[in-house]
Homo-oligomer: A and B are copies of this chain.
Amino acid sequence: MERTRLMIEEAAPALKLLGDKTRLTIAGMLKNGECCVCEFTEVLEMSQPSVSQHLRKLRDAKLVKENRRGQWVFYSLNENYEAYDLVLSVIDHVSDQSEKLQELEKQGKRIQCE
Protein backbone atom coordinates (compact mmCIF):
# COMPACT_ATOMS: atom_id res chain seq x y z
CA MET A 1 0.00 0.00 0.00
CA GLU A 2 1.51 3.29 -1.08
CA ARG A 3 1.40 5.97 1.50
CA THR A 4 2.35 9.58 1.88
CA ARG A 5 4.81 10.25 4.63
CA LEU A 6 3.84 13.15 6.81
CA MET A 7 6.03 15.80 8.33
CA ILE A 8 6.20 15.71 12.11
CA GLU A 9 4.42 19.07 12.04
CA GLU A 10 1.46 17.53 10.23
CA ALA A 11 1.27 14.23 12.08
CA ALA A 12 1.62 15.46 15.66
CA PRO A 13 -1.52 17.68 15.67
CA ALA A 14 -3.57 14.84 14.16
CA LEU A 15 -2.34 12.44 16.82
CA LYS A 16 -2.98 14.98 19.52
CA LEU A 17 -6.59 15.27 18.37
CA LEU A 18 -6.95 11.48 18.41
CA GLY A 19 -5.15 11.22 21.74
CA ASP A 20 -8.31 11.97 23.65
CA LYS A 21 -10.81 9.23 24.50
CA THR A 22 -13.80 11.26 23.41
CA ARG A 23 -12.38 12.31 20.06
CA LEU A 24 -10.90 8.89 19.35
CA THR A 25 -14.30 7.33 19.95
CA ILE A 26 -15.89 9.88 17.64
CA ALA A 27 -13.35 9.09 14.93
CA GLY A 28 -13.96 5.37 15.46
CA MET A 29 -17.69 5.87 15.10
CA LEU A 30 -17.12 7.63 11.79
CA LYS A 31 -15.17 4.73 10.36
CA ASN A 32 -18.30 3.29 8.76
CA GLY A 33 -19.86 6.55 7.70
CA GLU A 34 -21.39 9.72 8.99
CA CYS A 35 -23.00 10.20 12.37
CA CYS A 36 -25.37 12.78 13.77
CA VAL A 37 -24.37 14.85 16.80
CA CYS A 38 -27.13 13.29 18.85
CA GLU A 39 -25.60 9.86 18.26
CA PHE A 40 -22.30 11.01 19.66
CA THR A 41 -23.88 12.42 22.79
CA GLU A 42 -25.86 9.20 23.21
CA VAL A 43 -22.88 6.86 22.82
CA LEU A 44 -20.41 9.02 24.71
CA GLU A 45 -22.85 9.70 27.53
CA MET A 46 -21.61 13.20 27.94
CA SER A 47 -23.11 16.67 27.72
CA GLN A 48 -24.05 18.13 24.36
CA PRO A 49 -21.83 21.21 24.72
CA SER A 50 -18.84 19.06 25.58
CA VAL A 51 -19.38 16.87 22.52
CA SER A 52 -19.94 19.95 20.41
CA GLN A 53 -16.65 21.43 21.55
CA HIS A 54 -14.76 18.26 20.67
CA LEU A 55 -16.43 18.25 17.27
CA ARG A 56 -15.36 21.82 16.77
CA LYS A 57 -11.74 20.93 17.36
CA LEU A 58 -11.94 18.12 14.85
CA ARG A 59 -13.74 20.40 12.39
CA ASP A 60 -11.35 23.32 12.84
CA ALA A 61 -8.46 20.99 12.07
CA LYS A 62 -10.39 19.70 9.03
CA LEU A 63 -10.16 16.16 10.31
CA VAL A 64 -13.94 15.89 9.92
CA LYS A 65 -16.49 17.75 7.84
CA GLU A 66 -20.04 18.64 8.70
CA ASN A 67 -23.20 18.35 6.71
CA ARG A 68 -26.43 19.87 7.93
CA ARG A 69 -29.69 18.20 6.97
CA GLY A 70 -32.67 19.97 8.42
CA GLN A 71 -32.19 20.45 12.12
CA TRP A 72 -29.55 17.74 12.33
CA VAL A 73 -25.85 18.06 11.68
CA PHE A 74 -24.00 15.02 10.43
CA TYR A 75 -20.27 14.60 10.68
CA SER A 76 -17.97 12.43 8.61
CA LEU A 77 -14.24 11.91 8.16
CA ASN A 78 -12.72 14.38 5.73
CA GLU A 79 -10.96 12.27 3.12
CA ASN A 80 -9.03 15.38 2.05
CA TYR A 81 -7.49 15.89 5.47
CA GLU A 82 -3.72 15.98 5.16
CA ALA A 83 -3.33 13.14 7.64
CA TYR A 84 -6.35 11.14 6.46
CA ASP A 85 -4.34 7.96 5.86
CA LEU A 86 -2.87 8.21 9.32
CA VAL A 87 -6.33 8.69 10.82
CA LEU A 88 -7.66 5.62 9.00
CA SER A 89 -4.68 3.59 10.12
CA VAL A 90 -5.13 4.65 13.73
CA ILE A 91 -8.86 3.89 13.68
CA ASP A 92 -8.05 0.50 12.27
CA HIS A 93 -6.03 -0.31 15.39
CA VAL A 94 -8.95 0.48 17.65
CA SER A 95 -11.86 -1.76 18.52
CA ASP A 96 -14.95 -1.19 16.41
CA GLN A 97 -16.98 1.73 17.73
CA SER A 98 -19.92 1.09 15.43
CA GLU A 99 -20.85 -1.74 17.79
CA LYS A 100 -21.88 0.85 20.30
CA LEU A 101 -24.24 2.39 17.79
CA GLN A 102 -25.69 -1.00 16.91
CA GLU A 103 -26.21 -1.70 20.57
CA LEU A 104 -28.14 1.53 20.94
CA GLU A 105 -30.24 0.60 17.96
CA LYS A 106 -30.94 -2.85 19.37
CA GLN A 107 -32.16 -1.26 22.58
CA GLY A 108 -34.38 1.06 20.57
CA LYS A 109 -32.46 3.95 22.05
CA ARG A 110 -31.18 5.22 18.76
CA ILE A 111 -32.54 8.65 18.11
CA GLN A 112 -34.25 9.13 14.78
CA CYS A 113 -32.47 11.74 12.72
CA GLU A 114 -34.33 11.25 9.46
Using a CB–CB cutoff of 8 Å, the interface residues on chain A facing chain B are: 3, 5-9, 11-21, 24-25, 28, 83, 85-86, 89-90, 92-97
How distant is A46 from chain B, measured CB to nearest CB, in Å? 14
- A5 pairs with B94, CB closer than 8 A: yes
Given A5-B96, A93-B89, A96-B5, the answer on whether A18 and B12 have CB atoms closer than 8 Å is yes
- A7 pairs with B95, CB closer than 8 A: yes
How often does this chain occur in the complex, in copies? 2
Ranked 9 nearest A-B pairs via Cβ: A16-B19, A15-B19, A19-B19, A86-B93, A5-B95, A12-B21, A15-B18, A12-B24, A11-B94
Residues of B within 8 A of A16 (CB): 15-16, 19-20
A15's contact among B5, B9, B90, B92, by CB below 8 Å, is which?
Answer: B90
Look across to chain B and name the residue whose beta carbon is closest to the beta carbon of A87.
B93
